[in-house]
Amino acid sequence: MIEDAGFVGVTFSNKVDTFAQADGEEQARAFGTFGYVIEARKP
Amino acid sequence: MTDISKPPAVDVEQLRAAVGDIYRGVAERPDAGYHFHTGRTALAHLGYPSEVTDPLPDAAADAFAGVANVFEPGLPDRGERVIDVGSGAGADALIAARAVGDDGAVTGVDMNESMLERARRSAAEVGLTNASFEVGLIEELPVEDEWADVIISNGVLNLVPDKLTAYRELFRVTRPGGRLQISDICVEQEVPEEAKRDIDLWGA
């Protein structure tokens, strides 16, 4: 997806438990929803 | 992770309206209770260091609703030009503005006027004249080609149905050699097509 737009060197950080202890935690767990920092570069 | 290469069949205008309602609510009543963390609680939960969040005005920090610390890989360098896509109340944009200094510039773009008002008020409160905030959509950013050294965004791309179009727009406004540094959520389980078409679940 990101490469399809032209970016290169796409990396994902370790996942972040974004919704832990939030009201939406149960729903997030149901889909395995986590936060990430995504980096890429324009050549 | 689920395949997001094809835009799901949702009504884009309906989705924008639903997302707008949620984040207008966050802007106007940030402590009302949402399914995600907000404010300084969220900033601390996501690991933002206090040395960058303590200087933030309450108007920017209280309505923060990001999903990960977009500066975990590092702050932008002095003199760089940054676009914050979906800048919300301006917390990330103002952190970036302080990092790039007077020789740099930050443009925050958001579709929500209530959030933009908070961001502009916050920038004025702390005297960050190198930060500006414009109304706009991620698919049509009000920025010239190849303007930015760095694109940041926090919890926004997951709310956009046509992600390839959005990433192509980010590519357009990034200079050659520039970089993308965005926080977002991804799902590890396959999301049923029926759920992808459910507008209510996009904000849930």
Contact A6 B171 (CB under 8 A): yes
Chain B: closest CA distance from residue A14 (Å): 10
Confirm or reject contact between A8 and chain B (CB < 8 A): no
Q: Which residue among A19, A37, A42 places its CB closest to the CB of B177?
A: A42
Alpha helix stretches (DSSP H) within B74-187: 91-100, 113-125, 163-173
Chain B: closest CA distance from residue A28 (Å): 8
Q: Is A16 helix (H, G, I), strand (E, B) or coil?
A: strand
Confirm or reject contact between B114 and chain A (CB < 8 A): no
Name the nearest CA neighbour of B97 among B106, B109, B87, B110: B106
pLDDT averaged over every residue in chain B:
90
Q: What is the pLDDT of residues B62-121, one digit of tens each?
A: 999 999 999 999 999 999 999 999 999 999 999 999 999 999 999 999 999 999 999 999
Q: How far is CA B70 from CA B19, B81, B169, B197, in A?
A: 21, 16, 19, 29
Within 8 A of B36 by CB-CB distance, chain A residues are 18-19, 22-24
Name the nearest CA neighbour of B116 among B97, B88, B94, B79: B88
- In chain B, the DSSP E strands lie at 81-85, 105-110, 131-135, 148-154, 174-187
Confidence at residue B66, expressed as pLDDT on a 0 to 100 scale: 94
Residue B189: pLDDT over 80: no
pLDDT band at B3 (very low <50, low <70, confident <90, very high): very low
Confirm or reject contact between B74 and chain A (CB < 8 A): no
Confidence at residue B62, expressed as pLDDT on a 0 to 100 scale: 94
Within 8 A of B33 by CB-CB distance, chain A residues are 23
Confidence at residue B2, expressed as pLDDT on a 0 to 100 scale: 44
First to last CA, chain B: 18
* Average pLDDT score over residue span B173-197: 86
The structural domains of chain B, with segments of one domain joined by +, span 12-202
Contact B73 A7 (CB under 8 A): no
Within 8 A of A16 by CB-CB distance, chain B residues are 46-47, 67-69
Residue B198: pLDDT over 70: no
A21/B173: higher pLDDT: B173
Beta strand B131-135 with B105-110 is parallel
Are B189 and B4 in contact by the 8 Å Cβ rule? The answer is: no
Residue B5: pLDDT over 60: no
DSSP state at residue B76: P
Are A37 and B182 in contact by the 8 Å Cβ rule? The answer is: yes
Q: Which residue among A18, A21, A40 places its CB closest to the CB of B185?
A: A18
The tokens describing A8, both together, are: 């290169």
Q: What is the pTM of this model?
A: 0.90
**CATH C-level class of B12-202:** alpha beta
Contact B174 A31 (CB under 8 A): no
Spatial neighbors of B12 by CB under 8 A, at least 6 apart, are B161, B162
Q: Which residue among B167, B175, B189 places its CB closest to the CB of A1?
A: B167
Q: What is the pLDDT of residues A5-40, one digit of tens each?
A: 999 999 999 899 998 888 888 888 888 889 999 999
Within 8 A of A36 by CB-CB distance, chain B residues are 68, 183-186
Contact A1 B175 (CB under 8 A): no
